Amino acid sequence: MDKKPTSRCNDRCPPGHRKTHNGGIAICCYDCIPCSEGEVSNVTDSESCFKCPDEEWPDEKNVRCVPRTYDYLSYDDVLALLFSFASLLFSAMTLFMSGSFIYFWYTPVVKANNRTVSFILLTSILLSFLCVFLFLGRPVDITCMLRQVAFGIFFSISVSCVLAKTVTVCLAFKATKPGSYWRKLLTVKLSNFLVVTCSSVQVLICVVWLSVSPPYQEYDMFSSPGKIIIQCNEGLVIGFYSVLGYMGILAALSFLLAFMVRTLPDSFNEAKYITFSMLVFCSVWIAMIPAYLSTRGKYMVAVEVFAILTSSAGMLGCIFFPKCYIMLFKSELNNSKNKCCSM
- How far is 67 from 227, CA to CA, in rounded Å? 9
pLDDT, averaged across the chain: 82
Per DSSP, 227 falls in state E
- pLDDT for the residue numbered 205: 94
Domains and CATH numbers, the chain: 17-67 (no CATH), 71-341 (1.20.1070.10)
- pLDDT tens digit sequence for 6-20: 556 667 888 888 878
Q: Rounded to a whole number, what is the distance in angstroms from the first to the last CA of the chain? A: 110
- pLDDT for the residue numbered 303: 92
Helix boundaries (H) for 175-294: 181-185, 188-212, 237-260, 271-293
- pLDDT for the residue numbered 110: 77
- Measured over the CA atoms of residue 234, residue 236, residue 241 and residue 245, the dihedral's sign is negative
Does residue 153 register a pLDDT over 90?
Answer: yes
- pLDDT for the residue numbered 340: 45
Residue 339 — pLDDT band, cuts 50, 70, 90?
Answer: very low
> Which strand (E) or helix (H) includes residue 174?
helix 141-174
Residue 315, CB half-sphere, CA atoms under 13 Å: how many? 33
> Which strand (E) or helix (H) includes residue 40?
strand 39-40
Does residue 330 register a pLDDT over 60?
Answer: yes
Residue 45 — pLDDT band, cuts 50, 70, 90?
Answer: confident
- pLDDT for the residue numbered 343: 37
Say which residue, 123 or 235, is predicted with more confidence: 123
* Rounded to 5°, angle at Cα 242 from 202 and 217: 95
Does residue 328 register a pLDDT over 60?
Answer: yes
pTM here? Answer: 0.83
On whether the CB atoms of residues 215 and 287 are closer than 8 A, the answer is no
- pLDDT tens digit sequence for 175-233: 555 555 555 555 557 778 888 999 999 999 999 999 998 999 999 888 778 888 898 98
Q: 57 forms bridges with which residues in the sheet?
A: 66
